[in-house]
Structure 1
Amino acid sequence: MRTRARSERGSASVWAVLVTAGAFTLLLGLVVDGGRVIDSRLASTRTAAQAARSGADALSAASVRNGKDEIAVATAINRAEKYLRDAGVTGFARVVGPTVTVTVTGRSTTVILSVIGIKSFPIEETQSAEAINQGAQP
């Protein structure tokens, strides 16, 4: 009995198309979703910096009277975190000495890479600002 041999003609073309399509999707995802991550990180950095500046402007009334220009810690944290809420982002603020530090957290969702299971990238940006005191003025 004679067995029929299966022809494998053209099977290499199918593999080449699949590998090329997969590589193209991955590269397109890195470009598109990578750009979105960079934009999200820049926006988070700007928001954190502005929130820190807002908090650093909260000088305590007693320090203004005695000339020490110290930050009212609770007011600074409240101002910075209110700025974050108003901007529609999540994060937190802390005060150490004359410095207000704000950290913005979030996620950048993907458009192309979600096809291969990568749904988002984490974002965490931190910025600080110091209170302006008499010694800092020209």
Structure 2
Amino acid sequence: MSDELRPQIVVYALPDACAALQAAAAHDLHITLVSPAGAAAFAGPGWFRALVAQASAAVPQADFDAILDCAGSAGLAMAAMREGVAAICFDGPADVRAKIEDMAAQSGCVVAMIDYDQALDLDRCEDAAAACGDWLEQYQTGKIAENTV
């Protein structure tokens, strides 16, 4: 995962993730699938890891990263690392964040940012495939600003 923020799409289930990845592949874009805010607490790291693995298997041509939101919970961040989640978002205190980043580096996990204000949230869309395609088209043509944090 690079330091550059890619277009982020909030996914809630496998059909959302597959729609996002199919649109990304069609537009030849690298995207980032992101969990709903605080999803580590209510869905769990295992759910997210499985969702990402199944979506990747279903759309193998897609180029993407995925980030699980652990909010400010160090315990959930560590559980996500143990579960093998590749990237997490942790917004706890700076001193705790430094420790989480160190543990993440040792476990091969990345601590990354999620910009929910700039992300496409598929919970607000009736047709995920159409929404992803339209949004990524607008992103590609510069009608939507790149994610910046």
TM-score (norm: length of structure 1)? 0.24
Q: Based on CA coordinates, which of the two structures has the bigger radius of gyration?
A: 1
More helix by share: 1
TM-score (norm: length of structure 2)? 0.23
More strand by share: 1
